[in-house]
């Protein structure tokens, strides 16, 4: 039991409590993964059969990391644990049991694009306004219903739901949901939400199946339990009902996925389901400095709806947190980029030591521009996944058809790619014929001469013959050999190879990379099944966090805070801390939404290991209009004792300037400083300079007679004094020392200055 010696008392107690319901409340950076892996290893070491263990995670990456760590303790027995994401584990179970709910065992899993494509087809067929019935909106509505276990039939019977739909002018949503469900079923396909929805149906309607898996999974562990939705909650509760050896691990302070169905009440009310619950709190943060932990605690303390814990750190105090103010989002980007250059140079750091986190993807633009200007390499996370690229989806569609030719979305995607004389009109005829004969498009093209005119029948029949040949190959060859055969004989590889453009070459290389990945997959020794169909299932169930992030690349990381969950960086910049941006405008109307935004800020803060900088802009373009911004209320909630007193060169020059000497009631701020607080913990935004509000009736003056020494007002920069004028005629430039900003050089014909004196 050497592995237990490296645990602190709280961690060890949680690991050794193997019986009954257990909740491990794991604060940020508290060694949660170590506790989960050692607890699983401890169960195996104390006699539990790994085949009776079910460990559920939210990313494949997390499952893989945990399994590898468990293998370090118990060896190859770790391969026998049922471990993976909710969707991967229950997709596997559905493969075994699909026939009980009317699905083929080789059912296709539709990704989001497939689902939205099918919805767009239905909207077109039903001649509905695609602006009112936007495919994204319809998809999200159906997804939300499934996550709350509302079937299409129940949706149409629910008076409240129907009332909401009709009042919004979308009274046919229930009909669309019903048609969508039928089309998926006919195609032998489940969408991402169906994996959990159909699992609930399976366990509810087939008690024998439920009993089978209740007895198989004698011990359950669920990671990130605060992120579970209603559907996941019910599955876990049903499976654990007999033995009640259920351990959930999570942190209510990091529950940030309500927008995709996560229900924080699952963890807050866990004790109500299990009165005999034993609770262990992991409160020591091993990741961050004491100042960062203290700032995080001071923020989350403002949430009323939480499990109380006292997170602490025994690391060094570290740098205090810096507040950076910018006059615009572009200047905010410039400040951050210059800071990264400076920190990297002074401390010998790598670019990969830095991360810039923001509330919305749109904020990346200003950061990207600033980094590019200074030649700072960066990578944006949450961009297009490798598996979302067109050429990759095209080849995978051929794979899908090989194993499930009834997959309508895959069929529509590649039946005429490469071109083979089956255009949109022909495809419409095939679909009409299928509907008329109550069958699938595949059955129509398989017997094309019986249903289609000769001009369409010949190429359609040829396509069907090709797919049937792929099916024969896939039965007898390895995943890689079958994939290569399909890529070559579908004509896809030839089509991409013939495109000699840079983009064409890139697409061809992407296909080669996919084939390389399948080759590696087919040679893995840790998998019982390595067929092409299993590879496709793994791809379909990839989560956003499983995309290749190449941790060895020396680049600054840019990402939304949601994407940053589970990651950590030595230096973190949280940008855009402004009212109506963070917290978002949509979140300030209810306590629950505002508390989720505060938890999101908590998650952002706790990504930082050594140094944290928070920035905001006093003006930002929104919908093409420059608007003034207020600092976020969250800045106001930071205990001022943990904020740095930093006086830069700009501040010193302001203090030395006699023009401002009598106007400074207290020290101002430079790019990375905050005002000097009084004693104790103070509200900080009241001390931070606000955006300049132009004087009443502000109007630019004629500046043709502007002279050194004059006082002026700028609409954004505020009041300043002219200290130099140079240039001639239309290119006259004025150097002005602004009270809040410092020295700026402005081209007078564009400056829009009001002369004060």
Which segments are annotated as binding site for ATP?
Answer: 26-33
Let me know how long the chain is: 757
Task: Return the sign of the alpha-carbon dihedral for residues 284, 285, 289, 293.
Answer: negative
Q: Is 588 left (phi over 0), alpha (psi -120 to 50) or beta?
A: alpha
Pairing relationship of beta strands 354-358 and 569-574 according to DSSP bridges: parallel
Contact 484, 395 (CB under 8 A): no
Is 607 among the residues known to form the active site? yes
- Cis amide linkage into residue 541, ω under 30° from 0: no
Distances (CA, A) of 81 to 40, 460, 521: 9, 46, 20
Pairing relationship of beta strands 733-738 and 742-747 according to DSSP bridges: antiparallel
- Active-site option among 17, 33, 439, 543: 33
- Active-site option among 194, 223, 331, 639: 223
List, as residue ranges, the binding site: 26-33
- Active-site option among 141, 607, 611, 620: 607
Contacts 24+ apart (CB under 8 A), 518-524: 518/479, 518/480, 518/483, 519/480, 521/479, 521/480, 522/478, 522/479, 522/480, 523/480
- Active-site option among 254, 352, 606, 618: 254
- Active-site option among 11, 32, 322, 754: 32
Helices and strands, counts by H and E, the chain: 33, 21
Residues 6+ apart with CB under 8 A from 738: 714, 717, 718, 719, 720, 744
- Active-site option among 97, 111, 191, 224: 224
Is 33 among the residues known to form the active site? yes
Distance, first Cα to last Cα, the chain: 81
Is 413 among the residues known to form the active site? no
Distances (CA, A) of 222 to 19, 194, 229, 235, 326: 15, 20, 13, 11, 43
Tokens of 150: 């509302």
Task: State which H helix or E strand residue 723 sits in.
Answer: strand 718-726
Half-sphere exposure for 647 (CA within 13 Å, toward CB): 11
Contact 119, 138 (CB under 8 A): yes
479-489 helix and 532-540 helix, angle to the nearest 10 degrees: 80
Rg (CA), the chain: 30
Distances (CA, A) of 435 to 118, 183, 442, 443, 448: 15, 10, 12, 11, 15
Q: Which amino acids are annotated catalytic?
A: 32-33, 223-224, 254, 607
């Amino acid at each position: 039991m050497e592995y237990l010696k490296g645990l602190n008392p709280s961690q060890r107690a949680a690991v050794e409590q193997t019986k009954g319901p257990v909740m491990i409340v794991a604060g940020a950076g508290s060694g949660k993964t170590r506790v989960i892996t050692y607890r699983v290893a401890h169960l195996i070491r104390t006699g539990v059969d790994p085949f009776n263990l079910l460990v559920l995670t939210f990313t494949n990456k997390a499952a893989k990391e945990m399994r590898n760590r468990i293998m370090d303790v118990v060896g190859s027995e770790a391969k026998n644990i049922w471990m993976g994401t909710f969707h991967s584990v229950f997709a596997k179970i559905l493969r075994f049991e699909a026939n009980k709910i009317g699905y083929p065992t080789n059912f296709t899993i539709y990704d989001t694009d497939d689902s939205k494509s099918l919805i767009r087809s239905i909207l077109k067929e039903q001649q509905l306004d695609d602006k009112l019935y936007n495919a994204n909106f319809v998809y999200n509505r159906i997804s939300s219903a499934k996550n709350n276990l509302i079937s299409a039939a129940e949706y149409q019977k629910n008076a409240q739901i129907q009332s909401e739909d009709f009042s919004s002018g979308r009274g046919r949503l229930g009909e669309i949901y019903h048609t969508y469900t039928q089309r998926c079923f006919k195609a032998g396909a489940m969408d991402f939400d169906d994996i959990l929805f159909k699992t609930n149906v399976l366990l509810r309607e087939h008690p024998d199946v439920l009993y089978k898996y209740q007895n198989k999974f004698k011990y359950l562990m669920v990671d990130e339990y605060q992120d579970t939705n209603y559907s996941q909650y019910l599955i876990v509760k049903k499976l654990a009902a007999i033995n009640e050896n259920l351990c959930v691990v999570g942190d209510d302070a990091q529950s940030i996925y309500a927008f995709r169905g996560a229900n924080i009440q699952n963890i807050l009310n866990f004790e109500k389901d299990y009165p005999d619950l034993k609770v262990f709190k992991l409160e020591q943060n091993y990741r961050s400095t004491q100042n960062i932990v203290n700032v995080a605690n001071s923020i989350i303390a403002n949430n009323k709806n939480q499990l109380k814990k006292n997170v602490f750190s025994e690391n060094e105090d570290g740098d205090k947190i810096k507040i950076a103010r910018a006059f615009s989002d572009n200047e905010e980007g410039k400040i951050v980029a210059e800071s990264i250059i400076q920190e990297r140079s002074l401390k010998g750091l790598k670019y990969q030591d830095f991360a810039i986190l923001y509330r919305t993807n749109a904020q990346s633009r200003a950061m990207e521009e600033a980094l590019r200007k200074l030649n700072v390499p960066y990578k944006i996370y949450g961009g297009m996944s490798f598996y979302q690229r067109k050429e990759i989806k095209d080849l995978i569609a051929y794979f899908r058809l090989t194993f499930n030719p009834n997959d309508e979305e895959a069929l529509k995607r590649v039946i005429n790619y490469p071109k083979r004389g089956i255009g949109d009109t022909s495809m419409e005829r095939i679909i009409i014929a299928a509907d008329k004969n109550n069958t699938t498009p595949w059955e129509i093209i398989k017997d094309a001469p019986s249903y289609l005119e000769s001009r369409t029948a010949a190429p359609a029949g040829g396509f069907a013959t090709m797919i049937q040949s792929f099916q024969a190959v896939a039965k007898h060859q390895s995943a890689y050999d079958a994939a290569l055969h399909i890529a070559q004989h579908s004509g896809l590889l030839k089509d991409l190879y013939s495109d000699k453009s840079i983009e064409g070459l890139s697409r061809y290389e992407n296909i080669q990379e996919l084939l390389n990945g399948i080759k590696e997959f087919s040679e893995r020794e840790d998998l019982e099944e390595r067929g092409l169909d299993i590879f496709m299932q793994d791809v379909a169930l990839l989560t956003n966090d499983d995309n290749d992030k190449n941790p060895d690349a020396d680049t600054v990381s840019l990402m939304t805070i949601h994407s940053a969950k589970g990651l950590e960086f030595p230096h973190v910049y949280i940008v855009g801390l402004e009212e109506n941006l963070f917290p978002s405008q949509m979140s300030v109307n209810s306590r629950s939404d505002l508390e989720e935004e505060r938890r999101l800020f908590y998650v952002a803060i706790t990504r930082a290991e050594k140094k944290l900088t928070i920035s905001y802009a006093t003006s930002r373009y929104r919908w093409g209009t420059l608007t003034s911004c207020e600092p976020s209320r969250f800045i106001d909630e930071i205990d001022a004792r943990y904020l740095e007193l930093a006086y830069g060169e700009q501040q010193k020059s302001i203090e030395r300037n006699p023009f401002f000497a009598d106007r400074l009631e207290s020290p101002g701020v430079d790019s990375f400083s905050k005002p000097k607080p009084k004693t104790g913990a103070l509200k900080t935004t009241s001390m931070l300079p606000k955006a300049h509000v132009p004087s009443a009736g502000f109007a630019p003056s004629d500046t043709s007679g502007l002279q050194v020494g004059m006082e002026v007002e700028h609409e954004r920069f505020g009041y300043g004094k002219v200290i130099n004028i140079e240039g001639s005629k239309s290119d006259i430039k004025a150097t002005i020392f602004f009270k809040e900003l410092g020295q700026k050089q402005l081209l007078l014909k564009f400056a829009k200055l009001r002369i004060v004196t």
